[in-house]
């Protein structure tokens, strides 16, 4: 019940000011965010990769409404990629980007501005032997994001996409993307979507996840299983066995701070396991989506407001 309220709050500027300025918020945020800037995030990447995990880094930010901030996002990613390469981490660390932070939502020509800003990021990633994955945001952005993906894949075929199983359209998108060299992260979906475009019942979302997973594993591309759900992980492993895929021809992905023991267990069992590591000062939207996903996270957050803490 609370999930939709929190998702609505994730886009409220007033709530952003209240939550972001509350001193008690910080320790809870730290569970999910690897720091306000690159230096602590890099320490996290070093620790994760040293323990056999792979990483995708997200410089936090979304819903940018002016060109200068969109360019600043591009510059932050260019700096991130140079830093990863300089530290010898580019082999195990890629980056995830939200096109709304690159200008996609700007009223005049947002799509083209986002493409123009993200292209140099894909180029630099390629030069350093790593990749970019385009996160997927709310359903109004899917066509634009997949079109940017097609453009980038011309020169950088390893550019990754994200598909959300809660959207009715996703099986078709999965079929279109299950092609040689195509990297697709399948997730359940984290935004508040209307019943006209998305399943509302969690069981339906799960069933749709399995259908799309099957398409991706049976296809020619590189499936990236973005889920903490033990059932989805078990099904992915069954599909890998059934389709004769060895570890490394697909991978698992989980978010930083969530089911960390399971992340290690999968890596130790020989699976490729990638951790999505968000960092940066603009953590509010990301943080609220994590609270919305799980009532226990919200309870943990609210307890931190209790007197004496």
Interacting residues toward ligand FDA by CB under 6 A: 135-136, 162, 164, 185, 187-191, 226-229, 253-255, 258-259, 276, 290, 293-294, 297
Tell me the torsion sign for CA atoms 287, 254, 141, 214: negative
Which residues on neighbouring strands pair with residue 229, listed in sequence order? Answer: none
- Nearer Cβ to ligand FDA (26/231): 231
Find the shortest distance in angstroms from Cβ 257 to ligand FDA.
Answer: 8
Find the shortest distance in angstroms from Cβ 272 to ligand FDA.
Answer: 13
**Secondary structure (3-state) at 278:** strand
C-alpha to C-alpha distance for 309 and 299, rounded to whole angstroms? 14
92, 119, 183, 185: which one is catalytic? Answer: 185
- Nearer Cβ to ligand FDA (67/260): 260
Q: How many CA atoms lie within 13 A of 150 on its CB side?
A: 9
138 is an active site residue: no
Joined tokens for residue 27: 């320790």
Find the shortest distance in angstroms from Cβ 212 to ligand FDA.
Answer: 12
C-alpha to C-alpha distance for 71 and 202, rounded to whole angstroms? 37
Find the shortest distance in angstroms from Cβ 162 to ligand FDA.
Answer: 4
Which residue, among 305, 295, 262, 289, has the nearest Cα to 60 in the 3D structure?
289
**What is the pairing mode between strands 132-134 and 54-59?**
unpaired
13 is an active site residue: no
- Nearer Cβ to ligand FDA (112/262): 262
74, 92, 135, 206: which one is catalytic? Answer: 135
- Nearer Cβ to ligand FDA (128/185): 185
Query: Which residue is associated with the tokens 């609505």?
Result: 8
**Active site residues per annotation:** 135, 185
């Amino acid at each position: 019940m609370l999930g939709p309220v929190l998702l609505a709050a994730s886009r409220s500027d007033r709530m952003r000011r209240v939550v972001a300025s509350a001193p008690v918020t910080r320790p809870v945020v730290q569970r999910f965010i690897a720091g306000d800037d690159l230096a602590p995030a890099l320490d996290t990447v070093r620790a994760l990769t040293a323990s056999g995990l792979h990483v995708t880094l997200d410089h936090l930010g979304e819903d940018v409404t002016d060109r200068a901030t969109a360019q600043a996002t591009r510059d932050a990613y260019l700096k991130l990629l140079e830093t990863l390469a300089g530290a010898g981490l580019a082999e195990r660390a890629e980056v995830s980007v939200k096109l709304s932070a690159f200008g996609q939502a700007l009223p005049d020509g947002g799509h083209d501005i986002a493409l123009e800003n993200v292209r140099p990021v894909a180029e630099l990633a390629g030069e350093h032997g790593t990749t970019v994955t385009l996160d997927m945001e709310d359903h109004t952005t899917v066509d634009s994001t997949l079109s940017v993906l097609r453009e980038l894949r011309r020169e950088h075929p390893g550019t990754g996409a994200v598909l959300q199983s809660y959207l009715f359209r996703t099986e078709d998108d999965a079929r279109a993307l299950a092609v040689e060299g195509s990297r697709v992260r399948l997730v359940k979906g984290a935004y508040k979507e209307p019943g006209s475009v998305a399943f509302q019942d969690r069981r339906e979302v799960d069933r749709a996840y399995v259908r799309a997973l099957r398409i991706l594993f049976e296809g020619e591309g590189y499936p990236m299983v973005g889920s903490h759900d033990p059932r989805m992980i078990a099904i992915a492993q069954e599909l890998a066995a059934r389709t004769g895929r060895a570890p490394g021809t697909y991978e698992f992905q989980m978010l930083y701070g969530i089911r960390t023991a399971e992340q290690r267990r999968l890596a130790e069992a020989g699976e490729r396991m990638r951790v999505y590591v968000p960092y940066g000062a603009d953590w509010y939207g990301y943080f609220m989506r994590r609270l919305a996903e799980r009532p226990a996270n919200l309870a943990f957050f609210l307890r931190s407001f209790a007197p004496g803490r």
